[in-house]
Amino acid sequence: MSQPLHVTPHPPAASPPPAVRIRDFTRRFGQTTVLRDLDIDIGQGEFVALLGRSGSGKTTLLRTLAGLDPADGQTVVTPAAKAIVFQDPRLLPWKTVWRNVALGLSGANVRDRAEAALAEVQLSHRLDAWPATLSGGEAQRVALARALVREPGLLLLDEPFAALDALTRIRMHGLVLALWRKHTPAVLLVTHDVDEAITLADRVLVLNEGRIAAEERIDLPRPRDPDAAFHAIRTRLLGHLGVEVPVRRPAPTEGALVAFPSGEMVA
């Protein structure tokens, strides 16, 4: 009689550690506490948007993750390679476009790497242009190329589309998504625009009074049309931000009775 076969199950594969890990983080300026007891994880390759009112601590958090502000004695873990794109492109006016992208790069083939990054943002024809000759959208694309040429594990975006016109902003959304898919950094986008957050992110966090007040996972297929599911998420996020969205009532058909809260009926 044969013996039963004993199979040792393989343990499940361990999940990769998050690209960003913050635990119990607090930031004070004098007597003012801007961030308090903050816990945040951002997965590798995850796109997260951060919403909040002015003064809620969004930029303070971004500066901490970028390493621009110290986090002495607190748990703030980020990739070694990270880059930030601000609302203002912050290009050096005395350097040409490719030299702005190559700023701070070291090693071999610096110009080739800068040119490749500019090709990705469709600016190969502007390599030797001066920043003063660029449109707002072109300048932001240069800033994006300067960030991505460093192959960051974490890309921080501080309202980079806020100063752009509507059509340029839509084009930039598509470009950022395409580059994110190709380079797969973890992304944290700070924005005041709820629609922008839903359009771009895998997950949206709402920061209020220094704490994460709400979280929404966006499980809509891309590209995201403003359908009923989109508007439902938008309404919830606006509610978390303290914005009341009026209920849309369908227009009555001719001859129908409309009931008002007072009980009055009008034909």
Domains and CATH numbers, the chain: 20-244 (3.40.50.300)
pLDDT in tens, 106-126: 888 999 999 999 999 999 999
Contact 93, 150 (CB under 8 A): no
56 pLDDT tier (thresholds 50, 70, 90) = confident
pLDDT at 16 (0 to 100): 80
Give me the amino acid identity at 12. Answer: P
Average pLDDT over residues 176-183: 96
- 259 pLDDT more than 90: no
pLDDT at 194 (0 to 100): 96
- 92 pLDDT more than 50: yes
pLDDT in tens, 185-243: 999 999 999 999 999 999 999 999 889 999 999 999 999 988 999 999 999 999 999 88
2 compared with 143, residue with greater pLDDT: 143
Average pLDDT over residues 156-169: 94
Average pLDDT over residues 10-38: 85
Return the bridge partners of 32, or none.
Answer: 29
Computed from CA positions of residues 73, 74, 75, 79, in that sequence, does the dihedral angle turn out positive or negative? Answer: negative
pLDDT at 9 (0 to 100): 56
| Burial zone of 223 (CB within 10 Å; 0-12 exposed, 13-18 middle, 19+ buried) | exposed
- 48 pLDDT more than 90: yes
pLDDT at 46 (0 to 100): 97
Q: Give the mean pLDDT of the chain.
A: 88
Question: Rounded CA gap, 129 and 10, in Å?
Answer: 57
Q: What is the chain's alpha carbon radius of gyration, rounded to the nearest angstrom?
A: 23
- 81 pLDDT more than 60: yes
Please, where are the H alpha helices in the chain? 58-66, 97-101, 110-120, 136-148, 166-183, 194-200, 228-240
State what percent of residues in the chain have pLDDT above 90: 73
249 compared with 111, residue with greater pLDDT: 111
Average pLDDT over residues 127-145: 97
